[in-house]
Amino acid sequence: MEIAIVVAADQNNGIGNENQLLCHLPNDLKYFKRVTSGHAILMGRKTYDSIGKPLPNRSNLVLSQNIKFIEGCEVFTEIKLALSYAEEKGFTHLFIIGGDSIYKQALPLCNTVYLTRIHHSFKADAFFVELPEKDWKLDASEYFEQDEKNAHSHTFEVWHRR
Ligand SMILES: NC(=O)c1ccc[n+]([C@@H]2O[C@H](COP(=O)([O-])OP(=O)(O)OC[C@H]3O[C@@H](n4cnc5c(N)ncnc54)[C@H](OP(=O)(O)O)[C@@H]3O)[C@@H](O)[C@H]2O)c1
């Protein structure tokens, strides 16, 4: 099973503020949907709270040490239990979709990072890590200008572990 991170970060690696995303970028939401649909997604309980419902056409796995049951989701107390579940269910891909704490714990398990770089600086209290050049290689990059629907220019980057 391929384990990959999907994250949108600003130019300071900010990813969220007060448990909300930094901005609304419809082009990135479409990309996120395209990448993750049909697969398993794993998120922390706070990210689940900020989304507020299971995402359709995906198996929603949530990590929590306190909450035991969330309608439409599978809840796990440890990352490795979530990974075993996704393996057993036959998923070919598991996408780690945040937040801050889950990205940090899961990065060592990932070989691919889908990073949307938002070319702007926001006020943030949650951050993604810098991918060190010696360990990670940028394999694809697609730039989008800001437009009437997307307030900030952004780049879809795909990084692979060297
Ligand atoms: N830009 C992006 O792409 C993106 C994507 C997702 C999220 N975000 C942002 O990230 C921020 C949230 O990040 P966060 O770090 O505060 O919260 P989080 O990672 O979403 O959730 C943290 C919670 O997950 C549970 N948890 C964490 N590690 C665990 C483990 N090993 N085993 C079991 N449960 C575990 C705990 O839940 P319990 O307290 O219930 O035990 C913990 O309080 C928000 O601002 C959000 O908007 C940004």
Structure confidence by residue, pLDDT tens digits, 99-154:
999 999 999 999 999 999 999 999 999 999 999 999 999 999 999 999 999 999 99
**For the chain, what's the residue count?**
162
Look at the alpha carbons of 96, 102, 106, 108 in this order and tell me if their dihedral is positive or negative.
Answer: positive
Range of the domain at 123: 2-161
What distance in angstroms lies between residue 9's CA and the mean position of ligand 1's atoms?
15
CATH number, position 107: 3.40.430.10
Task: Give the binding-site residues of ligand 1, using a 6 Å CB cut-off.
Answer: 7-8, 15-16, 19-21, 43-47, 50, 63-67, 77-79, 97-102, 105, 126
Structure confidence by residue, pLDDT tens digits, 56-112:
999 999 999 999 999 999 999 999 999 999 999 999 999 999 999 999 999 999 999
Helix (H) or strand (E) holding 15: strand 14-16
Q: What is the CA radius of gyration of the chain?
A: 15
pTM of the model: 0.98
* Number of structural domains found in the chain: 1
